[in-house]
Amino acid sequence: MAARDLFPPIEPYETGRLAVDPPHELYWEQSGRPDGAPVLFLHGGPGAGAAPDHRRFFDPAHYRIVIHDQRGAGRSRPLGETEGNTTQALIADIERLRERLGIERWHVFGGSWGSTLSLAYAQAHPERVTALILRGIFLCRDSELEWFLYGIRQMFPDAWAAFAGEIPEAERGDLLEAYHRRLMDPDPKVHLPAARAWSVYEGACSTLLPSPETVAAFGEDRMALGLARLEAHYFKNRIFLPPNALIENIGRIRRIPAVIVQGRYDCVCPPVTASDLHDAWPEASFQIVPDAGHSAMEPGIRRALVAATERLKSV
């Protein structure tokens, strides 16, 4: 049987807003089957927000699909807000949403930063997680940040030159600090060019083959500001967790069924990170997609993720 691609587009049957700690208000939605197996989709970034196509990884005849935009991201308000925006707060928000929707346990699906948050949430509340589907693993170790800020130059020298070129040469020894300072500036004339440069850099490096559509989406003002500001915020604060905590705490979730999907040529979150996670967690299924980079929307990644959601119907 041929591997199936995404399910057809669907619309939510319910949307809402959840007031959490001021000033944050979260957008959430439900689609698929109201009495189906609950699954939570966690978007990347942090700050990228969710999109309609993210509903399509799940069979709507089987799954109750829950999607929300995390603090400061997408349709949540205020956009790009860093006040009270920590990993612990995002975990608490997930629990508030679960309780608001009356869900006992759910599958958790996350890619890139979504994989980070999925692991952190599952380790904090393992009793609430039925299974995990993780893609493009990111653990925010210093080696991963160094790669994102400087190492990608080895593979995407043109994209990196534009990214570094936004910063005066004298400040390029610490690109994270230089970008963080500009992204937090209240003046749009300062923060928007920096946000576009950061976000376009990530978009340009996210696919195996050039994708002008991906780069254009990452360059849109709202997407760029949420993504760049919150990524810089979380990177600077090392995702508010001790070094290597997500691997060291694997024992808390070892018995939860899990699938790890990783693009062989992922230049945003290199495969060594997924391999390190699997070494610590051999019980998890680990699939390297041979013809893909980072983006969840690349054909091989899409098919592998849909296959995972289909396989976990039996869990």
Residues 215-226: tens digit of each pLDDT: 999 999 999 999
Residue 4 binned pLDDT confidence (cut-offs 50, 70, 90): confident
* Whether residue 65 has pLDDT greater than 80: yes
pLDDT at 1: 45
Asked if residue 102 has pLDDT above 50, the reply is yes
CA–CA separation, 269 and 305 (whole Å): 17
Same domain, 133 and 23: yes
H or E element in which residue 37 lies = strand 37-42
pLDDT at position 138 over 90: yes
Per-residue pLDDT, 2: 59
Same domain assignment for residues 125 and 234: no
Do 21 and 121 sit in the same domain of this protein? yes
Same domain for 29 and 89, yes or no, is: yes
In the structure encoding, which two tokens stand for residue 269, read together?
């979150």
Regarding whether 127 and 247 lie in a shared domain, the answer is yes
pLDDT of 113 above 60: yes
Please tell me which residue in 76, 266, 278, 295 is annotated as part of the active site: 266
Looking at the structure, do residues 209 and 307 belong to the same domain, yes or no? no
- pLDDT at residue 50 greater than cutoff 80: yes
Domain membership of residue 4 (yes or no) is no
Taking only the tens place, the pLDDT of each residue in 72-98 is 999 999 999 999 999 999 999 999 999
Among 215, 239, 263, which residue terminates a domain? 239
Distance CA 119, CA 274 (A): 12
Residue where a domain terminates, one of 239, 259, 290: 239
Residue 259 has pLDDT above 70, yes or no: yes
Are the CB atoms for 66 and 40 separated by under 8 Å?
yes
Regarding whether 250 and 103 lie in a shared domain, the answer is yes
112 catalytic? Reply is yes
Q: What residues contact 120, with CB distance under 8 A and at least 6 apart?
A: 87, 90, 91, 239, 241, 246
Same domain, 131 and 24: yes
Q: Is residue 233 part of a domain?
A: yes
- Look at residue 3 and tell me whether its pLDDT is greater than 80: no
Burial class (CB in 10 A: 0-12, 13-18, 19+), 34: exposed
Indicate the average pLDDT of the chain: 97
Regarding whether 114 and 44 lie in a shared domain, the answer is yes
- The arithmetic mean of pLDDT across residues 134-159, rounded, is 98
What mean pLDDT comes out for the span 189-203? 98
User: Is position 39 within any domain?
Assistant: yes
Residue at 171 is within a domain: yes
CATH number at residue 116: 3.40.50.1820
CB burial string 42-64: b at 16+ within 10 A, e below = bbbbbbbbbeeebbbbbbbebbb
Please check the confidence at residue 299 and state whether its pLDDT lies above 90.
yes
As a whole-number percent, the residues of the chain with pLDDT over 70 amount to 99
Catalytic residue (choose from 112, 206, 211, 295): 112
What's the confidence (pLDDT) of residue 238? Answer: 98
**Residue of 146, 142, 138, 97 whose CA lies nearest to 118:** 138
Number of domains comprising the chain: 2
Please, which residues have CB within 8 angstroms of residue 154's CB and are 6 or more apart in sequence? none
Show the domain range for 208: 142-239
Residues 129, 180: one domain? Answer: no
pLDDT for residue 280? 98
Q: Same domain, yes or no, for 114 and 254?
A: yes
193 and 258 share one domain = no
Q: What would the pLDDT profile of 239-257 be if each residue is shown by its tens digit? A: 999 999 999 999 999 999 9
Distance CA 140, CA 150 (A): 15
- Please name the residues in contact with 243: beta carbons below 8 A apart, sequence gap of 6 or more: 141, 142
Instruction: Answer yes or no: pTM beyond 0.95.
Output: yes
